[in-house]
């Protein structure tokens, strides 16, 4: 027999996977890593995660879960104990009235968003997405076959999303509106009145509202609010929560949904054919986080407020740079268009690239979040790193 010589297989991936792009944030993190590995001292302002360690009582619960052999499959959407803890925490903090069958747990908030969009958004459906948006929303919608209808907001009005603006974007094809307050990347917080009004308009027209409340406990306005407390609109709403930022648990992967029972059932069906349950041990840790003292959350929140004020003051003192005052999450979204036309810089991507390579500060350019004049800075880091970064940034813009 003559040896078979085969041409190398051309790698061809599915049309649906070709619709999505890698995350802009991950790309920025990788660039910074490359430079760091080459021995450069880089200040990393890219990472969207708490710099705190997971609180001890949460870690202890996970350790004890392992020691007690709580290591088997659980119900797909989480144990009854976890569902009860999710519902109880939300009721205590926001006065909501969800039942356990209206709650489920997934492998991070991102997984919840993915499940919800997959079961509700079909080919040809439109999803209204306020700009600036968190990078993954767009790709999650595209993967489902939907089209994002971008809702431009006004920076001078703090990127505010109003019901009136949403109403103008509604079409017969609108299936869903995505809200994210506090917002990644802008840190903008929607006043409860605006959120309720958007909800009212959506409910009237039979449109779903998916409210990403991953930063709901990092709201610095003193008016912490979840749309889940608006009982009258519950039939059309999916509240997405996450333990990642609240309890400094990004690597543990735990998020939850509060939604009408049939939606939860559909999401659980989908999850049963992908990841199955979130890790059993993490579920025990989540119960400890949700049922335990919330003092750790309050402490982290006050530190973020202090860091926010520190960096905003520092940034506003830099000539040519402007920034809105973020009211939540742990990001600042400064406008760098004042430097366009200098040193070959014409876009946020140019600015971020030069700032990394020449100034050794890593940030995420705004293009990934849908805007053309901003960079995103995460201030979830030690104050020393903010000061070092501010000094390098000042030096860099001074050299332009």
Ligand X SMILES: Cc1ncc(COP(=O)(O)O)c(C=O)c1O
- Rounded Cα distance between 177 and 125, Å, is 11
Answer for which of 184, 271, 280, 381 binds ligand X (CB under 6 A) is 184
Q: Which of 78, 100, 146, 255 binds ligand X (CB under 6 A)?
A: 255
Check residue 327 for interaction with ligand X (CB under 6 A): no
Residues 6+ apart with CB under 8 A from 231: 96, 97
Given the rule CB under 6 A, which of 16-24, 59-67, 106-114, 160-168 is the region that contacts ligand X? Answer: 106-114
Alpha carbons within 13 angstroms on the beta-carbon side of residue 167 total 12
Task: Give the containing element (helix H, strand E) for 387.
Answer: helix 383-398
Segment lying near ligand X (by CB under 6 A), choices 28-36, 104-112, 164-172, 310-318: 104-112
Tell me the closest approach of the beta carbon of residue 109 to ligand X, in angstroms: 3
Q: Does 250 bind ligand X (CB under 6 A)?
A: yes
Compute CA distances 303 → 89, 198, 199, 365, 383, whole Å.
22, 32, 32, 25, 10
Pick 110 or 234: Cβ nearer ligand X: 110
In angstroms, give the least distance from the CB of 338 to ligand X: 27
212 near ligand X, judged by CB under 6 A: yes
Part in contact with ligand X (CB under 6 A); list of ranges 60-68, 96-104, 108-116, 304-312: 108-116
3-state secondary structure of 335: strand
Nearer to ligand X, 120 or 345 (CB): 120
Confirm or reject binding of residue 138 to ligand X (CB under 6 A). no
Assign residue 344 a region: left if phi > 0, alpha if psi is -120 to 50, beta otherwise?
A: left
326 binds ligand X per the rule CB under 6 A? no
From 45, 134, 304, 396, residue interacting with ligand X (rule: CB under 6 A): 134
**Of 191, 126, 194, 127, residue with least CA distance to 164:** 194
Judged on CB neighbours under 10 Å (0-12, 13-18, 19+), 143 is: middle
Nearest to 324 by CA among 158, 195, 145: 158
Q: Does 230 bind ligand X (CB under 6 A)?
A: no
If the CB atoms of residues 108 and 368 are measured against ligand X, the closer one turns out to be 108
Compute the distance between CA of residue 233 and CA of residue 228 in angstroms, rounded to an integer.
8
Q: How many CB atoms lie within 10 A of CB 23?
A: 16
Instruction: Choose which of 43, 44, 48, 361 interacts with ligand X (CB under 6 A).
Output: 48
Give least dist CB 242 to ligand X, A. 3
φ, ψ for residue 196, nearest 5 deg: -65, -40
Q: Does 115 bind ligand X (CB under 6 A)?
A: no
Q: Which stretch binds ligand X (CB under 6 A): 60-68, 107-115, 147-155, 379-387?
A: 107-115
Say whether residue 214 binds ligand X (CB under 6 A): yes
Residues that bind ligand X (CB under 6 A): 48, 108-110, 134, 180, 184, 212, 214, 242, 244, 250, 255
């Amino acid at each position: 027999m003559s040896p078979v010589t085969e041409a190398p297989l051309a790698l061809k991936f599915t049309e649906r996977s070709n619709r999505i792009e890698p995350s802009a944030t991950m790309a920025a993190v990788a660039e910074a890593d490359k430079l760091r590995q080459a021995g450069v001292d880089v200040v990393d302002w890219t990472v969207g995660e708490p710099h705190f360690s997971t609180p001890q009582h949460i870690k202890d619960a996970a350790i004890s879960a392992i020691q007690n052999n709580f290591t088997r499959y659980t119900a797909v959407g989480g144990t009854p104990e976890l569902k009860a803890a999710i519902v109880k925490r939300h009721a205590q903090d926001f006065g909501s009235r969800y039942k356990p069958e209206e709650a489920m747990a997934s492998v991070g908030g991102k997984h919840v968003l993915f499940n919800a969009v997959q079961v509700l958004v079909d080919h040809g459906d439109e999803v209204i997405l306020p700009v600036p948006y968190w990078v993954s929303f767009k790709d999650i919608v595209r993967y489902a076959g939907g089209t994002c209808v971008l809702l431009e907001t006004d920076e001078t009005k703090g990127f505010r999303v109003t019901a009136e603006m949403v109403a103008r974007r509604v079409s017969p094809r609108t299936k869903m509106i995505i809200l994210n307050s506090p917002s990644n990347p802008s840190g903008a917080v929607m006043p409860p009145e605006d959120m309720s009004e958007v909800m009212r308009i959506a409910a009237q027209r039979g449109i779903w509202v998916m409210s990403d409340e991953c930063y709901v406990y990092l709201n610095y306005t003193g008016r912490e609010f979840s749309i889940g407390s608006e009982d009258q609109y519950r039939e059309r709403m999916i509240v997405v929560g996450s333990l990642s930022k609240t309890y400094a648990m990004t690597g543990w992967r735990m998020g939850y949904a509060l939604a009408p029972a049939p939606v939860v059932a559909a999401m659980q069906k989908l999850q049963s054919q992908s990841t199955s349950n979130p890790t059993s041990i993490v579920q025990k840790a989540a119960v400890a986080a949700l049922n335990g003292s919330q003092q750790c959350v309050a402490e982290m929140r006050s530190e973020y407020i202090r860091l926010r004020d520190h960096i905003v003051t520092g940034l506003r003192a830099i000539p040519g740079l402007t920034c809105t005052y973020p009211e939540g999450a742990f990001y600042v979204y400064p406008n760098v268009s004042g430097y366009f036309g200098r040193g070959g810089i014409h876009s946020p991507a140019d600015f971020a690239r030069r700032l990394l390579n020449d100034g050794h500060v890593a940030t995420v350019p705004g293009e990934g979040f849908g805007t053309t004049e901003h960079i995103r800075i995460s201030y979830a880091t030690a104050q020393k790193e903010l000061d070092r970064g501010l000094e390098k940034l000042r030096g860099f813009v001074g050299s332009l």
